[in-house]
Amino acid sequence: MENYQTLFQSSSLTPPASSHLSLLNMVNSQAQDHNKVNGHSSLTANMDIPDSGISGVAQSGSLTGAKTEVKSGKNKGEKKSRKPRHAFQTRSLVDILDDGYRWRKYGQKAVKNNKFPRSYYRCTYQGCNVKKQVQRLSKDEEIIVTTYEGMHSHPIEKSTENFENILSQMQIYSSV
């Protein structure tokens, strides 16, 4: 496969946004406290599954297997167990948005609204079943919608030194 964040500085694609990396860290630590993340950078936008921006992508209801505790279907507006999903709209030409964790692709499906297929990733850490799906809008191929589900409860595999490097890159892009 390709390299990781190393690509960021290697490739001269001039990605406008790479702060995504830091966002993930915050999410990992604070999970639901995504409010502060918002004020971090204007390049990335986080929200709780809005069905207005995404074309029926992250709707509500049947995303994961939740077959055991399936809702009766009667209550459409209120659900007993809500899935903590965070959709990040990242503006980048490359879909290699590595947050420092190891992801294993377990599926790929094409969406009707978009001509681009959606990729499903899963954290390879034992016990950490964090799921993530990446989708790019056919309207704007530079827009990458990454939806994260669950939270990481384990340290990052990558070294802090590496992360520092990432931060450096982030600052550079943030400056623009």
Residues in touch with DNA (CB under 7 A): 1, 56-58, 61-65, 67, 70-71, 73, 102-109, 111-113, 118, 120, 122, 124, 131, 133
Query: Which residue from 63, 74, 128, 70 is spatially nearest to 99, judged by alpha carbons?
Result: 128
Length, in residues, of the chain: 176
Cβ nearer to DNA, comparing 19 with 133? 133
Amino acid, single-letter form, for residue 17: A
Cβ nearer to DNA, comparing 39 with 73? 73
Tokens 């406290």 label which residue?
33
Shortest distance, position 60 Cβ to DNA, whole Å: 9
Cβ nearer to DNA, comparing 50 with 107? 107
Shortest distance, position 101 Cβ to DNA, whole Å: 11
Evaluate the CA torsion angle 29, 119, 122, 129 in order and state its sign: positive
Query: Which residue from 156, 155, 107 is spatially nearest to 134, judged by alpha carbons?
Result: 107
Cβ nearer to DNA, comparing 80 with 112? 112
Shortest distance, position 23 Cβ to DNA, whole Å: 21
DSSP state of 112: S
Cβ nearer to DNA, comparing 73 with 77? 73
CA dist., res. 67 & res. 29, Å (int): 28
CB atoms within 10 A of CB 124: 12
